[in-house]
Amino acid sequence: MTDALSGIPGLERGLLSDQIYDLVKSMIKSSQLAPGEQLVESQLARRLRVSQAPVRDALKQLAHEGLVTHVRHQGNFVTKHSDEEAQQAKQARVALEALAGRLTCGRLTAETRARLEEVIAAMHTAVDAQDLPAFRELDFGFHRAIIEASGNTYLPRMWDIIEPSLRSMHLLGDPEFTGDWHQVADWHRSLLDVLDAGDADAASALFEAHAAGTLLDAEGDGAPHDAGSTDGG
């Protein structure tokens, strides 16, 4: 099979393009590439020791997904987001998580639930260590796992599209959040518990409130909430 495929023109370039796409996307998601930073094809090609063609293909795909912005006569840049775009990203997250909560309700496997319990425990450990970056990664991992557990193959793809925006605009894990990060971790346990309760409407509503950053308002505390949704997670 390998020998047969090796003769197909453009296959190696396609594989390289996919790898470069994954790499650059990961660097955008982790903030190694900052919003507004220019992505120069020749520099990336030299850095990765490849030709410019697969780099160009990868950047076109990232531009199609909105992670990269192409400016005519200037080049490619990591997409920057306006306040209006931040609000739109938040709206998209709210709708996506509400749907994920509804679809995942009652269908968590024992293995997934155990893994999410471990994530919550690790969140508390990160708070004790005052390690916000670690907490933030755990936060994203928790929500991604719920999205994946929904059983809908399109939801993880949609999450992949909005996650870099959520990261760059601190719509999860806001470093300016001054509330109790242990409480934020406990909110995730509440999300986990509602998925086991079997009430899809309640699960959808709680996930929506969490993503919208209205949990503390419901508790009578006017402070910000989602450390990014303005509550932390």
Task: Supply 126's token pair.
Answer: 């990160």
Could you confirm whether domain 83-218 is CATH 1.20.120.530? yes
pLDDT value of position 167:
76
Residue found under tokens 């968590």:
108
Domain ranges of the chain: 2-78, 83-218
pLDDT value of position 99:
97
The span from the CA of 62 to the CA of 129, in Å, is: 35
Give residue 203's identity as a one-letter amino acid code. A
pLDDT value of position 55:
93
Residues ≥6 apart with Cβ < 8 Å to 56: 41
CATH code for residues 2-78: 1.10.10.10
Residues ≥6 apart with Cβ < 8 Å to 148: 155, 156
Residue found under tokens 């793809």:
157
2-78 and 83-218: same fold? no
Q: Does pTM surpass 0.85?
A: no
* Segments of the chain scoring below 70 in pLDDT: 1-14, 171, 173, 175, 214-233
